[in-house]
């Protein structure tokens, strides 16, 4: 399980990858006291790789999800709050105290961020100041990288990051009073999945690797209107 960071055209974007799941402030870790073979759950009867694949498939079929999480790396915490639906996405990513807003729709990416954020990537102060509080149309060559933040792109990354190589103990328990199945890997990282034959969604990831992370997936199948911002600044014309 892992969370990767992707930098594209002067805008850093957190990219979820690994076993998908979630945690937000105040949510207790799942209790896993029941052995899988004793639960009678068809999901719990699967091995670790099968549980992960089942969860990824359910996420993909949902068509939409709300993703909230954080990652600790190099002494700093980065946070994300994104709505992913189909080929579109919108939300915020916070890095080093700077909150970056993102909209990705119809294959085009738009970013709104403080001037300090743009300056941190080497943009001259004069130009960075022009972008303060402005929606920015990202160059076409960068938009393709943002597509990995769509639901379909995320599912592809989730599958690529582990797939059939995932091993670990499968147990059952409860999360927020609901039955779950938990895959625990050798490093202590866990994937918690709803123990629901009709909706076995990934619910909680706790990544105990080099960059500890937690992420929540919720609001499966719930959609919002995602539209391109009006009058964005085109980086190609900045300073012109």
Best CA proximity match to 21, nearest among 152, 204, 146: 204
Query: Which residue did the predictor score with more confidence, 156 or 37?
Result: 156
Going from N- to C-terminal start, the domains of the chain cover 2-233
Please report, for residues 23, 38, 43, 72, the alpha-carbon distance to residue 33 in angstroms, rounded to integers and kept in the order given.
Answer: 19, 11, 16, 28
pLDDT digits (tens, 9 = 90+) for 78-116: 888 999 998 899 999 887 778 889 999 988 889 999 998
For the domain spanning 2-233, the CATH number is 2.50.20
Band the pLDDT of 62: cuts 50, 70, 90: very high
The residue to which tokens 């004069």 are assigned:
126
pLDDT digits (tens, 9 = 90+) for 175-192: 999 999 999 988 888 899
- Tell me the pTM: 0.80
């Amino acid at each position: 399980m892992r969370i990767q960071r992707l930098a594209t055209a002067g805008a850093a974007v957190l990219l979820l990858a690994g076993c998908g799941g979630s945690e937000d402030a105040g949510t207790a870790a799942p209790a896993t006291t029941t052995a899988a073979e004793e639960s009678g759950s068809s999901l719990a009867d699967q091995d670790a790789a099968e549980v992960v694949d089942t969860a990824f498939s359910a996420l993909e079929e949902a068509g939409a999800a709300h993703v909230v999480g954080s990652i600790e790396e190099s002494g700093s915490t980065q946070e994300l709050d994104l709505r992913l639906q189909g080929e579109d996405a919108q939300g915020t990513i916070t890095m080093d105290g700077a909150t970056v807003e993102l909209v990705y729709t119809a294959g085009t990416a738009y970013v709104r961020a403080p001037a300090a954020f743009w300056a941190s990537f080497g943009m001259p102060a004069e130009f960075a100041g022009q972008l303060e509080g402005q929606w920015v149309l990202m160059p076409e060559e960068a938009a393709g990288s943002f597509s990995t933040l769509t639901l379909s792109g995320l599912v592809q990354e989730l599958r690529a990051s582990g797939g059939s190589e995932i091993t670990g103990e499968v147990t059952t328990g409860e999360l927020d009073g609901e039955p779950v199945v938990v895959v625990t890997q050798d490093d202590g990282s866990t994937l918690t999945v709803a123990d629901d034959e009709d909706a076995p969604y990934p619910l909680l990831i706790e990544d105990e690797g080099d960059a500890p992370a937690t992420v929540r997936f919720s609001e499966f199948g719930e959609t919002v209107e995602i539209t391109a911002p009006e009058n964005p600044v085109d980086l190609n014309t900045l300073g012109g």
